[in-house]
Structure 1
Amino acid sequence: LFGGDPNKVTLFGESAGAASVSMHLLSPKSAPYFQRAIVESGSATVPWALESRQVAIARSVALYEDMRCGNMSKDPQNWDLEKWAPVMEFVDFPWVPVIDGDFLIEQPTTSLKNGNFKVTQLLAGSNREEAIYFIVYQLGDIFPPSDFFVKKDFVKNREDWLRSISNLLPRQMLKAPLALASIIHEYEPTELPIKPSDWLNALDKMLGDLQFTCNVNEIALANSMNGGDTYYYYFTHRATQQTWPEWMGVLHGYEINFIFGEPLNTERFKYTKEEQELSYRFMRYWANFARTGNPNKNPDGTYTADVWPMYTQASMQYINLTVESDYSAGASRIGVGPRRKQCSFWKKLLPNLMAAVGLSYHQTLHHLSAAGYQELISLMIRPWTAFATHCSSFDG
């Protein structure tokens, strides 16, 4: 259809799209139809990516009953729209995949643990401030809306921080004293003096690790441990053309602008020369990966100047994607992790602590809808979901 090579298909997605791509990695039905995958800021193991079969059925039955499907007039003129108003809750809330025994046969974490997935060439990564974009929306119930986007100090102290946590974490997790105390201990700022920005950064990292970064790390590590060539990036550059306040940092999804060359459109945007060069780097890495499975290998057989190391269990090396002046100022080109200690907390320590008191970590995370995550998940369902590309699409 597109003139590409059907034997060189790369699935590429960001956020909800990345979760979708990684579900194709887990599904035995998808495996024959693509060769490589790119997952940005999302995976099938994020808490918002799946819904249990039981919950999906219960919601379907509730929708059926609320809409009175059996007694509905065929003439829309006779419908009582006021009675339908509560039903809109089901439309506003995104319907997510379920483990149906056909496309998805088991929990994603189980598939990764047991090696039941397509081991392939994988490019994965996340951004430095993954959660802040969602936090400012989620905290609208406890802070004045006028505080958002105007000042960065709306989380002023420990009391504000704890109130924020109670509005961000799954309700079932809040009911587990040991789990909650462990999370607070892991993320509470300790270096004095503690500034309002420290409290906010702790919130961002807590939610960002839980909802994004640690899940990307999980699938990258599983792929590497099973023999798949894996490359990990961490995007840390705050774009000059970013429209959100500067204190919000490097937001979820904003690597996309660089991947698709927005900084090169000088007629519409005023990115710096360094940012244009960074965009070229992004496009070169992504195109090289789509062609060969190696982001370093150029079309002419040469290799990129900045070599992107392979991510392995032994090294956990990633490339820090930012502008040259940041490197000159001391930023590392190659890092380890990212967020290795915190991800060990979420993926190893906390599940074991909860199991010790008879709680299921997995089931607790999937009480997200009860914890008021409808808006959070809605924001993640973006137009740039998973899409397929092929090597001949990247010619340059």
Structure 2
Amino acid sequence: MSCLRLVSPEQLSLSTWNISLTYLEFPFVIVSRDKHFFGHLDARAALREGDFNRDVNLMIGMNKDEGNYWNIYQLPQFFDKAEPPELTRHQFDNLIDSTFSIQPDIIRSAAKYIYSDPNCTDHGRKTRFYAGQMNQIVGDYFFSCDSLWLADQIRSTPNGSLKKPPKVFVYYFTQSSSANPWPKWTGAMHGYEIEYVFGVPLSYSKIYKRREQIFSRKIMQFWASFAKNGTPRLRVLKNSEHWPEFNEHNNYRWMQLRSGSNIRPIKRRKETECQFWRRVKDTEYTAYLTQEYSSSCQINSYWILLFIPFYFIFSTF
């Protein structure tokens, strides 16, 4: 510590980017193990153990193209392009191996299978499908499936523990911005719903289409209504724009958010993908709690035991 205190802030800041980082890993992030702030459990453990206040309504969602933003920066040789990127199956497999290098082979093999082309396209032919699947797999693992997991956690409050169970609302944001300088193929990337939530199309009307301005007003109404009443509603409501609660009664439907007449409930998606990633996250959490394991051999053996069922499923195809 004495040595570090002698280093200038500028040098420390610059040096952080010289350390070895894995995909979507950053040098400075929230420290989940700060028990002085998060209490007797660290933040990750509190979430996994359900030790948090569930007496709250939740509006949570994901953007259709969460992964594209990160792929452009992390995999520029394939995704930093003006035209829609294309990948062969072999390139796709290699990118999964590099992107998820910290995962055991059995996990990466399972992911390749789940996100592979059901039409068994020639592995040597480039297609947009596999570039699109890299977008989805990155988005699912790092963002979407965790969001849906939290929605289920809040919703599955033990019977009788609350007088009034919380309401959960899930959205699927698919609106691309006409003012966005990124190529059109990038779609609705991570974080790009924010400009509509804060009414940017209304402040910079010359660079946004009329339908985007109307859409932004509706998004602000949804968010304001939820903040005020715990339910996202529009002032003037069409039947198709009624946002269903995320529960069994409504078949766990999501709300698609897109301009024009495209604001409507849709069937939930990503069930197979998120079921797989939840299993992975469960094992990651167990490994997180059992860091007293002294060798990677023990940890890898643990992963293999938990994922033997996946091996038998894949071997039948």
Q: State TM-score, norm by structure 2.
A: 0.74
Q: Secondary structure at the match of 1:99?
A: coil
Q: Secondary structure at the match of 2:244?
A: coil
Partner of 2:308: none
Whether the 8 Å contact between 1:123 and 1:230 is mirrored in structure 2 is yes
How far has the Cα of 1:191 moved from its partner? Answer: 2.5
Please tell me the residue identity of whatever aligns with 2:57: Q
Please tell me the residue identity of whatever aligns with 2:229: T
Percent identical residues: 21
Partner of 1:130: 66
Unaligned runs of 5+ in 1: 1-63, 362-396
Please tell me the residue identity of whatever aligns with 1:229: K
Which residue of 232, 235, 242 maps to 2:173? 235
Q: How many residue pairs are counted as aligned between the two chains?
A: 271
Task: Confirm or deny that 1:263 pairs with 2:201.
Answer: yes
Q: Secondary structure at the match of 1:150?
A: coil
Partner of 2:187: 249
Whether the 8 Å contact between 1:121 and 1:229 is mirrored in structure 2 is yes
Whether the 8 Å contact between 1:237 and 1:323 is mirrored in structure 2 is yes
Partner of 2:119: 191
Whether the 8 Å contact between 2:63 and 2:188 is mirrored in structure 1 is yes
Task: Confirm or deny that 1:152 pairs with 2:84.
Answer: yes
Partner of 1:201: 132
Partner of 1:381: none
CA distance in 1, matches of 2:274, 2:68: 18
Partner of 2:290: none
Which residue of 273, 277, 294 maps to 2:210? 273
Structure 1 residues 263 and 182: CA distance shift in structure 2, 3 A: same
Q: Deviations over 1:274-328 (max 9, x none)?
A: 2122111100000111111111275xxx867521111125622111001225x3x
Whether the 8 Å contact between 1:311 and 1:317 is mirrored in structure 2 is yes
Q: Secondary structure at the match of 1:172?
A: coil
Structure 1 residues 188 and 273: CA distance shift in structure 2, 3 A: same
Whether the 8 Å contact between 2:167 and 2:245 is mirrored in structure 1 is yes
Matches within 5 A, 1:28-177: 64=1, 67=4, 69=5, 72=6, 86=15, 89=18, 93-104=27-38, 105-106=40-41, 108=43, 110-119=45-54, 120-140=56-76, 143=77, 148-153=80-85, 155-169=86-100, 171-173=101-103, 176-177=104-105
Task: Confirm or deny that 1:348 pairs with 2:241.
Answer: no
Whether the 8 Å contact between 1:235 and 1:255 is mirrored in structure 2 is yes
Q: State TM-score, norm by structure 1.
A: 0.60
Q: Deviations over 1:189-234 (max 9, x none)?
A: 2335575211111111111000000111111111111131111111
Q: Deviations over 1:235-293 (max 9, x none)?
A: 012222221101111111111111111222355x3322221221111000001111111
Structure 1 residues 103 and 273: CA distance shift in structure 2, 3 A: same
Whether the 8 Å contact between 2:106 and 2:304 is mirrored in structure 1 is no
CA distance in 2, matches of 1:338, 1:205: 12
CA distance in 2, matches of 1:297, 1:233: 15
Whether the 8 Å contact between 2:96 and 2:108 is mirrored in structure 1 is no
CA distance in 1, matches of 2:281, 2:214: 41
CA distance in 2, matches of 1:342, 1:107: 27
Partner of 1:310: 245
Task: Confirm or deny that 1:217 pairs with 2:148.
Answer: yes
Please tell me the residue identity of whatever aligns with 1:134: W
CA distance in 1, matches of 2:102, 2:119: 30
CA distance in 1, matches of 2:274, 2:12: 46
CA distance in 1, matches of 2:265, 2:217: 19
Whether the 8 Å contact between 1:139 and 1:167 is mirrored in structure 2 is no
Partner of 2:293: none
Structure 1 residues 359 and 292: CA distance shift in structure 2, 3 A: same
How far has the Cα of 1:100 moved from its partner? Answer: 2.9
Partner of 1:359: 303
Cα RMSD (Å): 3.4
Q: Deviations over 1:104-139 (max 9, x none)?
A: 243556534543211101111110000111011111
Partner of 1:380: none
Whether the 8 Å contact between 1:138 and 1:167 is mirrored in structure 2 is no
Q: Secondary structure at the match of 1:234?
A: strand
CA distance in 2, matches of 1:337, 1:129: 16
